[in-house]
Structure formats: structure tokens, C-alpha cells
Amino acid sequence: METAHQLFFQNSNNLGKIPSGSVDLIVTSPPYPMIEMWDEIFFTQNKSIGKAIKKQEGNIAFELMHKSLDCVWDEAFRVLKNGGFACINIGDATRSLKSNFAIYPNHARILQYLVKIGFTALPEIIWRKQTNAPNKFMGSGMLPAGAYVTLEHEYILIVRKGGKREFKNDSEKQNRRASAIFWEERNTFFSDIWFDIKGSRQKLLDKAARKRSGAFPFELAYRLINMYSVKADIVLDPFLGTGTTMAAAMASARNSIGYEIDNNLFDSIIKITDDIINVSNSHMENRLKQHIHFVNERTASGKPIKHTNNPYGFPVITNQEKGLILNEIKAIEMMQNHSIKVNYCDQPQASFCLEWEKPGIEKRCSDLEKTDSKRAKNKTKDKQLELF
């Protein structure tokens, strides 16, 4: 198996290099309107935005910023296939202008426009980002009638173009089964509130790059890609940033396309190629270990597990998990014109292909569950890309 990953360093309000109806999934996080760290990006798109901020006209600036994003959503709708999904991580903004503190509801404005241009809105996810910062409380502190609720969550908007995706032939159905997630993962992944993903503090090459990037965590992108696409699909991120979505697509055996307006982030994106094999394969190994742990706990409690996964031979809860396989990355290669090629292993990880019917399997599973990943111990010398 092989996947291809293409970088474009240009404005994503024109995705002209991508054919219409060719993308299966969009996973992205745009610059957040009315958050100061992204002001300059919006100012360069439309000088009127800078003038509105200078005049302290918050509502005008808010709408102008979103109009610049609307062009990207128009293009996103064009390039998506019918049945394709878009998952957009966005947070609301709070800001004081003219001594007036207010919230600017970015998620509502974006969702309103997505529905307007033809997307179908689906249940969204609340990403709960807890913080213990001592200065997180806003306003008058302990005194009433002057304090403000602390924003500790962001939204993941989920929309679909057209009707439900169909898997028509045997090959497509088999690939879908191979792309399945574990039953116990589904209960977490498809919950409407995510508590278990911490905010990202990725180390970049320089302070300027760190300021320019609002990277979300690897696990967030990885989870969404595995929820809303299958292997060999094309995943697009029109606001690629430091390349987290592309890294997650590589780890998930999906193809990807990334647009990034700031070519100063090139080195940070290409840094993925140094670490992704270890990071990806360790992540898959951890998923398998977590499943073994789940199996051990369920078996110990006397609950039945009726089905068997074909590639690995271990027990699974449902018939839909029988074809599930996690393909390890074998090699990664930089190509010309900012493209990357990734090769995968078609066989399951041998250490998890145990003889599950033989006596003593419980102990071998317990030992396997406790072993540390060898890859996790092989830390790379350069830790500038921290995906977890």
C-alpha cells in the first residue's frame, strides 16, 4: 500500500489545483477571527479589517474576517465528493473593544454559512480544553455582576456534502471493513464531548513559527480521519499550519493535500518526515495494546466476546471489526514539488498475532499489554515535532 501527500504554499481561497468532487474528507482549523494572534493574517487579506480593528468596531471586523474565510468554505464545498465530510475545529473569541468585553461566536457564523452554501449540518463535538492557569478567570473575580464565564472548550463542526456515502462494490466494502475502529473506541470517538484530548503545545523551529501556528493535537486529527474516511481516501487541510493533519493522514493510510499560506512553516511541515514512522507505528501499537487491555478486562468480568478479528486472531465485540487491520508505515520519501510518498506494511503486527485458543493466553496477553513500545524508547535526537 502507498499513499501520496501534496503541499501547496498558497492561499486556500482558490483551490484551483484540486479537481471538483475529488476530496473525501476535510479536516482543518482556520485562523480564529477576533483572536489577536491571527489579526495580521486577516489584515493582509483585507485592509478594511485592520481599519475596523483600529476603530474598535468589533462586529464589523468580525464579519469581514469571516467573509475572507467564506471563500475557502466555497472551495471546500466544490472539491468535496458527494457524501464527503468536513470537520472544522474552531473556537469562539472574547475581546475587549471600546472598553466593552464581548464574545464573538465563530462557530455559529461558520456553521450558518456552511449550511447556506449547501452543506448538511451534523451533530457537533465539544472539545473540552481544561486549563489550570491561575489567571484564567475573567472580569471582577469573586465579585458578582462583573465576572465572565471562562471559555475552556472549542467546537468541532461536522458537515456533509450531499447524501450518505455509498460503498458499492466488494473492493470498497472490504476496504471499509479494514478501516474499522474498535467497538470500545467508537464509544469514545463518537461521544459529543471530548475530555481526553489535551491542547497542543508543539515545539516549532522558532518563536515566530510558534506564534503563527495554532496547531491542534495529532490525536484530534487522527481520530476524525478514522471516523469519517477509509484507507486510501484523500484528506484535505486548507489551513495546514505545521502539518498535523497531514501527519495524521499518513498514520491512517490516507492520502492528503495541504494548503498553507505561510511558506515560513515549510521546515516545520517537512519535519514530519523525520518522526512520523516512529510516532505512527507506536500509536498503532498503543491502540492494539488498549484493545488487549479491554479484552482482558471484559473476559475477567465474565462478559462474552463473540467474534474474532481475522488479521490478528484476537477477540472483538462486533462482526464489523473482523477485517480491521492497522497498517504500519515502512518507509517515507520526499519527492519533487513538495510531495511525499509513504509505503505501508500489508501484514498485521506479528507480536499481536497470538494463538488465542491455546491455554495460558491470558498471561501472554497480560505480558504483551505491559510491555513498553520499543519505538517509544527510540527517541529521536530532534524533538521539534511533538505530536502527543
What confidence category does residue 381 fall into, taking pLDDT thresholds of 50, 70 and 90? very low
Output the average pLDDT for the chain.
89
Q: Give every CB contact of residue 293 below 8 A, 6+ residues apart in sequence.
A: 369
Q: Give every CB contact of residue 93 below 8 A, 6+ residues apart in sequence.
A: 32, 33, 34, 35, 103, 104, 106
Q: What is the pLDDT of residue 245?
A: 97
Instruction: Tell which wins on pLDDT, 137 or 15.
Output: 15
In the predicted structure, residue 343 carries a pLDDT above the cut 70: yes
Sequence ranges of the domains in the chain:
2-273, 274-377
What confidence category does residue 142 fall into, taking pLDDT thresholds of 50, 70 and 90? confident
Classify residue 337 by burial, with Cβ atoms within 10 Å: 0-12, 13-18, 19+.
exposed
CA–CA dist 221, 388 (Å, integer): 12
Q: What is the pLDDT of residue 136?
A: 62
2-273 folds as Rossmann fold (3.40.50)
What confidence category does residue 94 fall into, taking pLDDT thresholds of 50, 70 and 90? very high
In the predicted structure, residue 143 carries a pLDDT above the cut 80: yes
- Main-chain dihedrals φ then ψ at residue 342, nearest 5 degrees: -125, 135
In the predicted structure, residue 124 carries a pLDDT above the cut 80: yes
Of 50-59, 327-336, 375-384, minimum mean pLDDT range: 375-384
In the predicted structure, residue 89 carries a pLDDT above the cut 90: yes
CA–CA dist 368, 292 (Å, integer): 8
Q: 298, 228, 242: which is closest to 270 by C-alpha?
A: 242
pLDDT in tens, 207-235: 454 455 567 899 999 999 999 999 999 99
CB environment 69-102: b (16+ within 10 A), e (fewer): bbebbebbbbbbbeebbbbbbbbbbbbebeeeeb
In the predicted structure, residue 385 carries a pLDDT above the cut 90: no
- Main-chain dihedrals φ then ψ at residue 111, nearest 5 degrees: -60, -40
